[in-house]
Amino acid sequence: MYNRQTIAAMVGIMLAFCAGCSHPGQRLLQARIEKDGQPVLQTRFGVPDSWDQYAAWQRLDSQVFEPVSTLKLDPNDFGQLVIKGNIRVTLVHAGKRFAAVNIEQIRLVSVSAGAKTWQLAPGEVDRTAKALNAKKE
C-alpha cells in the first residue's frame, strides 16, 4: 500500500507535468474596414495567442464581414463590391491595434445572393498582406 506522502508526491509530479500541457490561449480580434476614416465593415474572430500579426492576417480569408454603415452597391456588379478611397484594414485586440494596412481599394464578394454580408475577394488577403509585410521591412 502507498502511504499518503507517496500519493501526494505522485499527484504533485503529475500536476507539474500537466501544467505544461495546457491548451494555448485565444486572442479575440476585431477586423475593421474603414473608408476615409469611417467604419464600413467589421467582423470578430479568434486566433491562437501564439500567432503573430501575419498569421492572424491570413485568417481574414475565411471571415464574414457585416456592414457597419450603408454600402453603395453598383447594380452592374451584383455580388461584388469594390471600395475605393483611403481604405484602412485593421485588426484590433483588447482595444489596441494588432495589425493594420492602408490601401487604395479593396474587393469583396457577397457571401450569398441577397445577403448583406461580405468576404474578401480571392487574392485580397495576399495582396493586403504584402502591404503589411512592407511595413515590417
**pLDDT at residue number 131:** 87
- Predicted TM-score (pTM) of this structure: 0.77
**Phi, psi at 111, each rounded to 5°:** -65, -40
DSSP run (H or E) holding 91: strand 80-93
Which residues make Cβ contacts (< 8 Å) with residue 57, sequence separation at least 6?
91, 99, 125, 128, 129, 132
pLDDT band at 28 (very low <50, low <70, confident <90, very high): very high
**pLDDT at residue number 22:** 47
**CA distance linking residue 48 with residue 99, whole number of Å:** 15
pLDDT band at 17 (very low <50, low <70, confident <90, very high): low
**pLDDT at residue number 2:** 61
- List, for residues 37-93, the tens digit of each pLDDT value: 999 999 999 999 999 999 999 999 999 999 998 877 666 667 888 999 999 999 999
User: For 83-112, what is the mean pLDDT?
Assistant: 95
**CA distance linking residue 36 with residue 4, whole number of Å:** 69
